[in-house]
Structure 1
């Protein structure tokens, strides 16, 4: 069995395990969230594709000119629009728009439990395989860069650390999993950490 095939099998086993929803507030248990809050549905694509030594994860660096989260590392994806059947459809549509990924090249493995963000979204991470050949095309004005991270880097819980920043007058703790010049943190790192924990269970 090839390295990539073994990693796909490990992914499938991990996705079959039950876990709880996650949140940007997981590391800040003192935060009191309004019980009647309304969260907007969204979907992101955690897409793995063949690399030089096994699978790689496809990620983007957002344009520094964007109003929200400029320059941050993110999955392809976004909010669910009226025309989207569900968050999975939203993730696929956004991936086509942001990185030029044809949905026909995507094999969806499963979804992770939802993740609540500080910006009021309920995000569904869609874990999938991307079939070659795929030549990514960044969406002008929204995506500054498209890059890959090795499977073993993001699926190893020991590579994650907890850091904090001042946010609304308080310390906000979050996960990070840097890779070279890319500072992967916040919601993206938290969702990846949830998957990495499943892999290690």
Structure 2
């Protein structure tokens, strides 16, 4: 899959023009419609993440982080680099790039922002803007020791294969909650991260040219 094809698939998803309206974002309620009523009036905290696609010679990969086990929220989970949009941040783009550098050491001079996925609303009250960036190789990583236990890459082709995605469920607060899962090697990628990866797969997989799909 070439860089040019990925950019062409994201041409209608330009950063700054893809924020989904509050009335119809993506979110944890995609598979759990009964959550919509309780999430509808919840105050939302603005956040942004980078969806980093590393342009490797052998094929694009998705860069992900594993959170440390001692964190209060989402300990040990797989996530994209990112976090809350602070008052000092000019916008979601600034927040995503800042958080990425703070968490992973990946600096913005290696990142070319090429797209923006649908806004994702979490059950915990975050309204997340996912920004897609093509990352040039040659960068050095320095995980933030308190928050990031590991940084790793997964082939982008894995997420574009419909066979890679599963739907699983757990009992949460007495109710069955459904969510997407991408199990890769010993990593268990689920929740909001899996939901945004599913959105990425939807965007990139549509009408993929045969040559691009095989490259």
Which TM-score applies when normalising by structure 2? 0.86
**Residue of structure 1 equivalent to 2:101:** 96
Aligned counterpart in structure 2 of residue 24 of structure 1, from 28, 38, 43: 28
Residue 187 of structure 1: SS of its match in structure 2?
A: helix
Partner of 1:136: 141
- CA deviation after TM superposition for structure 1 residue 66, in Å: 0.5
Does 2:71 correspond to 1:66?
yes
SS at match of 2:34: coil
Measured against aligned partners, the alpha-carbon deviations of 1:53-75 in whole angstroms (never above 9, x if no partner) come to: 21111000000010100000000
Aligned to 1:124: 129
Compute the displacement of 1:197 (Å). 1.2
Q: Which blocks of at least 5 consecutive residues in structure 2 are unaligned? A: 14-19, 207-215
Give the whole-Å Cα distance in 1 for the aligned partners of 2:81 and 2:128: 12
State the aligned residue count: 196
TM score, norm. by length of structure 1: 0.91
The Cα RMSD (Å) is 1.6
Contact persistence 2:39–2:123 (CA under 8 A): no
1:196 is matched with which residue? 201
Partners of 2:124 and 2:185 in 1: CA distance = 27
Contact 2:49 2:131 in 1 (8 A): yes
**Residue equivalent to 1:145:** 150
Q: Is the 8 A contact 2:179 2:191 kept in 1?
A: yes
C-alpha displacement at 1:11, in angstroms? 2.1
Q: Structure 1 regions of 5+ residues with no counterpart?
A: none
CA contact (8 A) 1:157 1:200 kept: no
